[in-house]
Amino acid sequence: MAPHVFWKGYLKLSLVTCRVTMAPAVSESGKVRFHNLNAKTHNRVLSQYVDGVTGKPVDDDDQVKGFERSEDDYVLFEDEELDDVGLESTRTIDIEAFVPSGEIGWIWYDRPHFLAPDDKVGEEAFSVIREAMAATGMVGIARLVMYRRERAVMLVPDGKGIIVWTLRYGDEVRDADAYYQLAQPGKSDAQHLSLIKKLIGERIEKWDPAMADDPVQDKLLDIIKRRKKSKKTRATPSKSGAKRSDNVVDIMSALKKSLDDERRAKGK
């Protein structure tokens, strides 16, 4: 089955242009999703926007976006006005600059998308842009209207294709220093460091996508499967609960015990 394509346009670098398609690299379509129901009737509970003062429903045509400049005083925007603020072209990825691939920290990465040539004619232009970035260790930076907003995007060569990452806005990324006040740089105890390195060595494994499986999803699917076979529709509340331990232990003793436990587990 061919993958769903949600965007078609052009990849452009100076005078080199080719037709491309783009699709999200990740999907949540397989997640278990719940509906809100009336517990008495089991009918769906629907949501609607209502006037905050009168309590009356507001039709879609009567809704506008508003920026609050003072209490109960708003600057109003129509959807068309917000659309006009974006780029003139929403269908061209025009690479404006290149940046060494290691300079953009992962915290700026937002959503990944697969980018591929849309026809045979554009394959050569697409390939030469991708391979040149890979050979020089660079990623491309462009701007594009996606999800109804103009965004900076990063183009990363990836095998036969290119990954397009939408980047977070500058005001979304917080300053880490404010959160790391207690994590001051300093020289670690040599013995502690040696034991931690050994502990890391005991746990080195090859990456497997199964490491990122969702255990809650698996449990929910199991419950749903069992309930399909029975008439039971309600869950029995669980009385178990994990308690937080505030015990402080000696780090050297903890590290040595951890290493012993790791080795015994591998021995089995």
> What letters, b where the CB count within 10 A reaches 16 and e where it falls short, cover 199-212?
eeeeeeeeeeeeee
Compute the distance between CA of residue 142 and CA of residue 18 in angstroms, rounded to an integer: 15
Average pLDDT, the chain: 82
**Looking at the domain assignment, is residue 209 inside a domain?**
no
Q: How far apart are CA 210 and CA 227, in angstroms?
A: 26
What token pair was written down for 194?
A: 């040696």
Has residue 92 been placed in a domain?
Answer: yes
Helix, strand, or coil (residue 167): strand
- Please state the rounded mean pLDDT for residues 51-76: 86
Full-model pTM? 0.68
Number of domains in the chain: 1
Among 96-100, 153-157, 205-209, the range scoring the smallest mean pLDDT is 205-209
DSSP, collapsed to helix, strand or coil, labels residue 217 as: helix
In a domain, 140, yes or no: yes
107 within a domain of the structure (yes/no): yes
| Residues spanned by the domain of 15 | 5-26+84-165
Instruction: Specify the CATH number for the domain of residue 129.
Output: 2.40.290.10
Question: 42 pLDDT exceeds 50?
Answer: yes
**226-249: per-residue pLDDT in tens?**
877 776 656 555 555 555 555 445
- Look at residue 59 and tell me if it is in a domain: no
- What pLDDT score does 93 carry? 93
Q: Percentage of the chain with pLDDT > 90?
A: 31
User: pLDDT higher for 176 or 256?
Assistant: 176
11 found inside a domain: yes
What lies within 8 Å, CB to CB, of 30 at 6+ separation is: none
In a domain, 109, yes or no: yes
pLDDT surpassing 70 at residue 1: no
Give the per-residue pLDDT at 248.
47
Question: What residues contact 26, with CB distance under 8 A and at least 6 apart?
Answer: 111, 112
Q: Kindly state the average pLDDT of the residues 33-57.
A: 88
**pLDDT class for 126, splitting at 50, 70, 90?**
very high
Which pLDDT score, from 0 to 100, does residue 192 have?
A: 82
In a domain, 42, yes or no: no
Task: Centre a 10 Å sphere on the Cβ of residue 98 and count the other Cβ atoms it contains.
Answer: 16
Q: Which of 71-80, 145-154, 165-174, 182-191 ranks highest by mean pLDDT?
A: 165-174
Q: Find the Cα–Cα–Cα–Cα dihedral 208, 173, 110, 167, rounded to 10°.
A: -130
